[in-house]
Amino acid sequence: MHRLAILRSFPVLVGVALAAAGCATTKTELPPKAVEGLLAVRNGLLDNKAQVQKTTAAARDMIENPRQDVGAQIGAFSSALSKLRDETGQTRELGAGMKSTADEYFAQWDQQLKTVSGELAAAGQERRAESQASFAKLEKSVAALRAVYAPFMSDLEATDRFLKADPTASGVKAAAPSLHKVLDKEEDVLARADDVIAEIDAVRGGR
């Protein structure tokens, strides 16, 4: 059924290819089927960003404003981190599904272009190459986000485990120096997420 939908979309794709050949743009908008699922990934990233900020806020409150009942602050940090972990997993699954759909679409696009020739084939191949390059740029931004996000999460989770073993004011004080270093990475993590969102917006063409 999915294959049939892709085949039926080819006439539209050809029209887009010819339009692309006639007017150059600075951003390459991909066909809708090639970026199916990207809106869900985008929304997931926005949720992840918000939860990162909630998690780091709980961590800062815990180490900068420790209260007598520090256990409640440790619990708030642990709870926020748990939600962040779950949301990250969901976004990762959405991203994997999106990539699989895109890979299938590009393969079908290539096969369909073999059924045409001349100017139409040339326009289609150029359009496909531009689209693949645009998608590759998106994948590169995702890899850059992953490179900073994975150690960021790993360090937060290490702190969580440490405090579960020693949920005391002294435990928080001992964890504070390393946790401060982790929190200093927040700005870079959020900036990388914004880069991915911007690339998604570019390939979706504002859809």
pLDDT digits (tens, 9 = 90+) for 112-151: 777 777 888 788 777 777 777 877 888 899 899 999 999 9
- Residue 78's nearest CA partner among 62, 95, 99, 92 is 62
pLDDT digits (tens, 9 = 90+) for 82-107: 999 999 998 888 777 667 777 777 77
Q: Which residue has the tokens 């990250």?
A: 88
Distance CA 101, CA 3 (A): 11
Burial (CB count within 10 angstroms: exposed 0-12, middle 13-18, buried 19+), residue 108: buried
What are the domain boundaries of the chain? 2-21+33-204
Residues contacting residue 93 through CB under 8 Å, at least 6 positions apart: none
- Residue at 134: amino acid letter: S
